Structure 1
């Protein structure tokens, strides 16, 4: 039995990271944070890894922060900013900056920071039984792990405010309809679809996709002029990659491209 709090499975061209505290609905502890960050760093360092798939073991994806993991002591006032600065902010930044597509397969409840960590990934697919909950209001807290930034951009201001203030669960089908996630699928098909996506990305022009991620993130705060200049710079970089030459050559030769991926 694997006692790791985050397991890593190395497939051809991609890695599968699984949050592995099923008895706690994969809620975050300091130890699990450390293992997840180490797994992300290892995936980034492996140039043969061209995509990453994140999911959870058991019946849930992630229930957010484990309140029994030293962040709350009866009668004491905690400084939660330390937990955020030490663990959640670096995790979200790492997920957003990985030079490869990151797929999140939500296999059950994604609550609090668990939901927002999922939203930090590039493509989110969810089992139809899954639910997304901004649970913070139930504890008198503010959405963290990037929730106040990414949620309005996914679903709009009105829905983001209501979801944060009311802490009502959003079923996977509704999350898809609102643009909160890419798609919902039958529970039995979740991992098949997730692996299909990862296998696809394992053969794609990874360096170009990484530049695309960079451009899309920057567009949230750039003016049009700034974004046009950034597109110009990034396209220049993309055009100097071996995959661009291969893509054009394959198109001219009417064959499937053989992209090398990360440089």
Structure 2
């Protein structure tokens, strides 16, 4: 089991049991999101030291070796439906973010409504470091959260930001000591699970209407990642990452 779903007293808790996303985990995550029907709030959390570091690169290397033309199909098959499903939930979604929140993990976190991080949490896009653009809705959700200047710099440079910066910039809503992040998020989620559910549904609907550009962004990202997944730079960067070496980009 890589993702666990528990529903109690109107609260659905989705727990990631591994920090990198392979096909098994992505499918299980989608099934968990599809299984929260009837809950009055959702908590997304992780049991390891990190929230989510994005795509399992070992699995991605296997896909590249099998066929670079289809290696990025997972964006359209798994990531896009997952982000759409999370964003379309009509009940509040709280995300507890321990440790690192990177790549698709950041996209997942931003698909929630309330984010709680630990003091030692960190955030990064990371895609350009391996010759890719963004997926999981980041080209929309980061701009929506941070503005085009900060979002563009984060996506281009791939720099890591701290929990303090994330709070200051509005990327997360609360920062607590690392050992309290799951309990603090669960407390908020339980509060929402006992709140005015119909009012929350309308709030979510109104916010979602203003964020309709996210779904167009998901489609654009899928096309970009498919093209970039076949580049020389991407393959070289992935090989360098696995070899713990610094990639040398040729520009194509």
Q: TM-score, normalised by structure 2?
A: 0.80
The alpha-carbon deviation at position 137 of structure 1 amounts to 0.7
What SS does structure 2 have at the residue aligned with 1:68?
A: helix
1:104 to 81, 95, 113: 95
The alpha-carbon deviation at position 13 of structure 1 amounts to 1.6
The reply to whether residue 219 of structure 1 matches residue 210 of structure 2 is yes
2:231 corresponding residue in structure 1: none
For 1:128-147, what aligned pairs fall within 5 Å after superposition? 128-147=119-138
1:32-82 per-residue CA deviation (whole Å, 9 max, x = no partner) reads 1111111111112xx2x1111101121100010002225543485243441
2:5 corresponding residue in structure 1: 8
What SS does structure 2 have at the residue aligned with 1:69?
A: helix
Q: Which of structure 1's runs of 4+ aligned residues deviate more than 6 A?
A: none
The reply to whether residue 50 of structure 1 matches residue 27 of structure 2 is no
1:146-175 per-residue CA deviation (whole Å, 9 max, x = no partner) reads 000010110111100110000000111110
Distance in 2 (CA, whole Å) between partners of 1:58 and 1:221 is 33
Distance in 1 (CA, whole Å) between partners of 2:9 and 2:51 is 24
1:86 to 48, 56, 77: 77
2:199 corresponding residue in structure 1: 208
2:108–2:136 contact (8 Å) kept in structure 1: yes
Distance in 1 (CA, whole Å) between partners of 2:201 and 2:56 is 32
* Pair 41,168 (structure 1): closer, same or farther in 2 beyond 3 Å: same
- Greater CA deviation, 74-83 or 161-170? 74-83
1:258 corresponding residue in structure 2: none
1:99-132 per-residue CA deviation (whole Å, 9 max, x = no partner) reads 2101000011011111111111111110111101
1:36 corresponding residue in structure 2: 29
1:213-254 per-residue CA deviation (whole Å, 9 max, x = no partner) reads 1211222469xxxxxxxxxxxxxxxxxxxxxxxxxxxxxxxx
The number of residue pairs the alignment matches comes to: 212
1:157-202 per-residue CA deviation (whole Å, 9 max, x = no partner) reads 1100110000000111110100111121111221221111111111
1:66 to 56, 81, 92: 56
The reply to whether residue 193 of structure 1 matches residue 184 of structure 2 is yes
Gap regions ≥5 residues in structure 1: 223-263
Greater relative contact order (CA < 8 Å, ≥ 6 in sequence): 2
**Structure of higher CA gyration radius:** 1
Distance in 2 (CA, whole Å) between partners of 1:221 and 1:195 is 28
Q: TM-score, normalised by structure 1?
A: 0.77
